[in-house]
Amino acid sequence: MTFKALIVDKDEDGKTHASIENIDVSRLPEADVTVAVEYSTLNYKDGLCLGPGGGLVRNYPHVPGIDFAGTVEESSDDWYKPGDKVVLTGWRVGEAWWGGYAQKARVKGEWLVPLPEGLTTRNAMAIGTAGFTAMLAVMALEEHGLKPENGPVLVTGAAGGVGSVATAILANLGYEVAAVTGRESTWDYLKSLGAARVVPRDDVAETVKRPLESETWAGCIDAVGGPMLARVLGQMKYGASVAAVGLAGGANLPATVIPFLLRGVNLLGIDSVMKPYDGRLKAWERLAKDLPMDKLEAMIHPATLEDLPALGADILKGQVKGRVVVDVN
Ligand code: NDP
């Protein structure tokens, strides 16, 4: 039996290339649950794995796709039976393990979560790793005392995947969202997701000049890192927290410790990949409840496996808006 998959292979000269192939089921990795994949999506990491690999891909030929949703086809895991709808994010699937850019995937049952009530496989992938991570960031800020009455919350990289979902969730929960974007063409989109105002990227892009600026933000979800995160730390209100999610603008943090020492600012690390099961379930339940589905629909850019190599290059250049949903069939 064969199925369609997007395969990335590496030439002898080290160059990667992607192609759509029909491959035999016997080539799937050994594990206890086989899933008929319905939808996958595109995240920043997928852009890396579709192209040069970014040090994430262990072996070639490789099937990328760090997340997927579908129906269990075969299972020797007691928790899952054929016909169950499931979602996978993280666990280095699509990097060190064959992923979701195929009609079938085989993974460990412990990596899956049941499709949350109220979600379809399509909107679970509209959320995907990016949206799941945005929810983890919102929950971390709440656990550290964030409330709507505390003041405005900054979202950086706002028109990207993490930023779009973070903006929609926070606005729906009653927060005043200030959305940082480098793309003027996305201002109306961000306002339609619920952003109260847009902050042009250049306003926060410059590196730290003064360790403390005026106390402006009650919280921040940061998908950008680098000089922007460093700058924002000095703009946080007393005792406020920043959830550090991404590095779209760089992995360095050219900051001073002054905001931590004089303003009690917290820098909260957010990891979606190895998040333990109970925390995953909580985040998915919150997404089904707190993310308005009409806002999610407005973020969707539909795509097929054939579209992915070009979209992968786009996301690495920061040119993808919202969430790409890949129908793999
Ligand atoms: P996207 O590419 O969809 O979004 C990133 C956004 O950041 C872009 O759309 C752009 O937004 C902004 N941006 C891009 N380049 C720059 C730059 N040089 N300087 C400032 N802003 C920039 O990616 P995702 O939303 O999928 O992921 C965002 C980040 O979060 C990535 O670094 C990703 O690896 C990370 N991530 C981390 C996870 C975790 O578990 N911690 C899980 C998922 C993602 P705009 O045009 O609006 O300015």
284 assigned to some structural domain:
no
C-alpha–C-alpha distance, residues 329 and 324, integer Å: 15
Question: Could you read off the pLDDT of 256-299 as tens digits, one per residue?
Answer: 999 999 999 999 999 999 999 999 999 999 999 999 999 999 99
Regarding the beta carbon of 312 and ligand 1, being less than 6 Å apart is answered no
CA distance 26 to 224: 40
Is 321 part of a structural domain of the chain?
A: yes
Per-residue pLDDT reduced to its tens digit, 293-326: 999 999 999 999 999 999 999 999 989 999 999 9
pLDDT of residue 34: 98
- State the amino acid at position 75 in one-letter form: S
Distance (Å, whole) CA 21 – CA 7: 7
The minimum-distance atom of ligand 1 relative to the CA of 322 is: 3
39, part of any domain: yes
Do residues 303 and 175 both lie within one domain? no
Q: Is the CB of 272 under 6 A from ligand 1?
A: yes
Asked if 186 and 316 sit in the same domain, the reply is no
- Pocket lining: 248 vs ligand 1, CB cutoff 6 Å: yes
Rounded Cα distance between 217 and 279, Å, is 27
Q: 225 with 199, same domain?
A: yes
Write down the pLDDT at residue 87. 98
pLDDT at residue 54 tops 80: no
Looking at the structure, tell me whether residues 136 and 172 fall in a common domain.
yes
pLDDT at 205 over 90: no
Work out the burial of residue 216: count CB atoms within 10 Å of its CB; fewer than 13 is exposed, 13-18 middle, 19 or more buried. Answer: middle
Domain identity same for 263 and 304:
no
Average pLDDT, the chain: 96
What pLDDT, on a 0 to 100 scale, did the predictor assign at position 122? 98
**Cα 298 to middle of ligand 1, angstroms:** 19
Structural domain including 69 reads: 2-115+296-327
* C-alpha 199: how far from chain center: 21
Q: What percent of the chain has pLDDT over 90?
A: 95
Which of these three, 269, 284, 312, is where a domain ends? 269
Does residue 124 form part of some domain? no
Residue 214 lies in a domain: yes
| pLDDT confidence bin for 209, thresholds 50/70/90 | confident
Q: Answer yes or no: is 291 within a domain.
A: no
CATH of the domain at 86: 3.90.180.10
- pLDDT at res. 199: 98
User: What is the Å distance from ligand 1's center to 76 Cα?
Assistant: 37
Report pLDDT for 13. 86
Unique residue bearing structure tokens 């997007």: 6
pLDDT tens column, 68-80: 999 999 999 999 9
175 and 262 both lie in a single domain: yes
CATH of residue 255:
3.40.50.720
Q: Are residues 88 and 161 in the same domain?
A: no
The number of distinct structural domains making up the chain is 2
Condensed to tens digits (0 to 9), the pLDDT of residues 106-115 reads 999 999 999 9
For residue 120, is it within any domain? Answer: no
Residue of the CA atom closest to atom 5 of ligand 1: 160
What would the pLDDT profile of 225-256 be if each residue is shown by its tens digit?
999 999 999 999 999 999 999 999 999 999 99
* Residue 55 pLDDT > 90: no
Domain boundary among 232, 252, 269: 269
Same domain flag for 45 and 148: no
Count helices and strands (H / E) in the chain. Answer: 10, 15
**98 and 72 part of one domain:** yes
Residue found under tokens 């060190």: 96
Residue 208, pLDDT score: 84
Q: Is 237 within a domain?
A: yes
Same domain, 240 and 311: no
Same domain membership, residue 209 and residue 101: no
Grade residue 157 by pLDDT with cuts at 50, 70 and 90: very high
- Based on the fold, state whether residues 104 and 171 are members of the same structural domain: no
Q: What percent of the chain has pLDDT over 70?
A: 100
**What pLDDT was estimated at residue 327?**
98
- What is the value of pTM for the model shown? 0.97
